[in-house]
Amino acid sequence: MNGADAQGGFDLTGSGAEPLRERDPRQIGTIPLVGRLGAGGMGRVYLGVVEGRYAAVKQMLASVVAEDEGFVCRFGQEMDNLARLPAGATAPLLASDRTAEPPWFATAYVPGITLTEAVEPHGGPLPADALWRLLRGLATGLEPVHALGMVHRDLKPSNIMLTLDGVTLIDFGIARAAEQSQLTQTGLIVGTPAYMSPEQASGKRRLTSASDMFTLGLLVAYAASGRWPFKDSAEGSPLYRIVHDTPDLDPLRHLAPRLAEAVAACLDKDPEGRPTAPELLELAAREGPSTPPAWPPLITDRLAGRAAFAANPPTQLPAPPPPEPTPEAVPPAAPPKDSRTRRRTRTLMAVLPVVVIATGTTLALQNLPYVTNSDSAAGAPPSTSATAPKDPSAPPDKNGSAKPESDKTEKTKKPKDPDGDKTDEDAPQGKGKNGDASDGDTANDGKNPSQGKGKGDGGSTDSDASDGDNESGDGGSDTDTDAPSNPTSGPFRLKNADNGSCLTQVYGAADDGTCGDPSARWSTVSAENNSFKVVNKESGSCLVANMLGQAVFVGDCTQGEARLWRWGPNNTLKSTANGGCLDLAYGGGISASTCQSGKTSQHWNR
């Protein structure tokens, strides 16, 4: 039986979760939390216990909710829809509180691993029988959803859970709640670029079940080759290539010719030409294995560990945190400001005007670590968005929708897989979402960083430096002789020497998170004056500095000097715009603060 140990910790062996961090809540609603499953999507996901069973508890980011009451209403509607789904379609809803600040919901813990986690350690491609099982599982999950007139609209490898029993789809409805939010601007796209349908990439607002079927085809093709099915090309963002290019299905044709025909039909640019979920189930029954095959041994071994953990619910839980004392009222030292000014101050502290990142996951509202009374936040980089062209066949716009954006200052090579890279070995990761984190590899400017080779282990690559806490550097000069002259091109992870977490992306913000999170992979693209861009391998967005001491964003790769960095001594990462070093921010998140010799929170090991 699992339970709390003498020190109040919790045995998470086999769960895929990591221990709670100091700033994580210990309870959400009435649900005690025992671990952290992931971050991304639209919130953080925790491992909790509901009525003697494990649960994935997703708490929405406060910045997502902010002051948008319309989102809260739509969130509630999507919870109602989630509750309507029949058993087997997804993880069942156990509890929710749409009126909480921020709202949250809990679903049954899925004792599985994501498709990304399954393909990468297996070394790509899955065998033919496993591919048929994957197709059957995806179609089985989508059939009742589509029968209710619903569309998932954010299927991707990190939202597909493989279990000993089959396949479970997760993260239903949340993308739609974001898309329908009154904060979502006209023409902006919600979703994961590498796994959108052509009509979704082109900005059509009313999607049908055929959109999910296109993504189903992409997922099976990815599992058959270990890479995204659109070949490398000199130009083109994922959106452009989805709308205009032909996917490479040769690896799948070699493994299972009949299955390749079905996937090719799913990838028809015309929604009317795609099969339905029931038609795929009929095909799988006729052409696929007569009995559901087992997953490959490497995958089955990991799934057995998850299943063993889930089969032993806790007998003892950590004690709930004591209630916080109610502070005494303190009279104001000065007369209050005009109410309109106060409201503007509060709003600006809560959110940056909407950031909808089509190279990330869904909707992003950026927390700001400062308050300003001006009409715009000084020093904040412009919002990053992807705008859909009016006509899919027309030349797409410059901001990344379905058109390759040119960058005259640099030429870079396309990576093979926007969701997973075979140079990046399996790292422990927990996905309750894990939306969390998005699956696209191309930069916002339509170019991609070149890649190096290397194996990862728990978030590090073979080229990882040691902790490297040599205290001799002062961190104040861009010409430090002990700084690396040529940054690793990637993919790699940046592991903080102070707390062991890795640099990740949560919407339009940089954060410190689990090294196994898909958004923890980065690469570099050389730029002027020995500087470079730091590009997130999942979203394609770049690390962007703000003013000194303020939050670091992940956004548009074309935003001038703010997205340029250099290596300093002791593996510090210095902004060329403000001279600050990448650092753990007080109260959470990532900032660029004054470089300090010996400050380990500014040391990032590769």
- Say yes or no: 301 and 436 in one domain: yes
Q: Which of the listed residues 74, 95, 111 is the one where a domain comes to its end?
A: 111
> What distance lies between CA 424 and its chain's CA centroid?
16
Asked if residue 576 and residue 521 are part of one domain, the reply reads yes
- Residues 534-590 pLDDT 10s: 999 888 889 988 878 777 888 777 657 888 999 999 999 999 989 999 999 865 779
The pLDDT value given to residue 594: 93
Q: How far apart are CA 490 and CA 481, in angstroms?
A: 22
52 and 129 co-located in one domain: no
pLDDT confidence band for 365 (50 / 70 / 90): very low
Please check whether residue 241 lies inside any domain of the structure: yes
Domain co-membership, 98 together with 146: no
Nearest to 427 by CA among 525, 519, 543: 519
Q: Which of 55, 88, 111 is the last residue of a domain?
A: 111
Residue whose tokens read 């548009």:
556
What tokens were used for 478? 């861009």
Residue-number span of the structural domain to which 249 is assigned: 112-318+342-442
Domain ends where: 381, 408, 442? 442
pLDDT tier, 605 (very low <50, low <70, confident <90, very high otherwise): very high
Looking at the fold, whether 68 and 121 belong to one and the same domain comes out as no
Tell me the mean pLDDT in the region 244-248. 93
| Domain-located, residue 447 | no
Domain assignment present for residue 392? The answer is yes
Residue 280 has pLDDT above 60, yes or no: yes
Cα(151)–Cα(149) distance, integer angstroms: 7
- HSE, CB side, 13 Å, CA atoms: give it for residue 369: 20
Single out the residue of 363, 383, 371 nearest to residue 347, CA to CA.
Answer: 371
Instruction: Say which of 68, 97, 154, 421 is annotated catalytic.
Output: 154
Q: Is 8 left (phi over 0), alpha (psi -120 to 50) or beta?
A: left
pLDDT in tens, 395-442: 444 444 454 444 433 434 433 444 434 333 333 344 443 433 333 333
The closest of 25, 48, 195, 212 to 102, measured between CA atoms, is 25
Indicate yes or no: pTM above 0.85. no
Q: Of 12, 9, 8, give the one whose Cα is nearest residue 309.
A: 12
Same domain, 248 and 379: yes
The answer to whether residues 358 and 437 belong to one domain is: yes
Residues 532 and 415 in one domain: no
Nearest to 75 by CA among 93, 94, 92, 99: 99
pLDDT greater than 60 at residue 202:
yes
Looking at the fold, whether 246 and 388 belong to one and the same domain comes out as yes
In a domain, 2, yes or no: no
How sure is the predictor about 113, in pLDDT bands with cuts at 50, 70 and 90?
Answer: very high
- 226, 126: one domain: yes
Count: domains in the chain:
3
With 0-12 CB in 10 A as exposed, 13-18 as middle and 19+ as buried, what is 408? Answer: exposed
For residues 360 and 380, membership in a common domain is answered with yes
Residue 336 lies in a domain: no
**482 labelled catalytic:** no
Same-domain check for residues 389 and 536: no
CATH number of the domain at 576, please: 2.80.10.50
526 phi and psi, to 5 degrees? -60, 145
Residue 558 lies inside a defined structural domain of this protein? yes
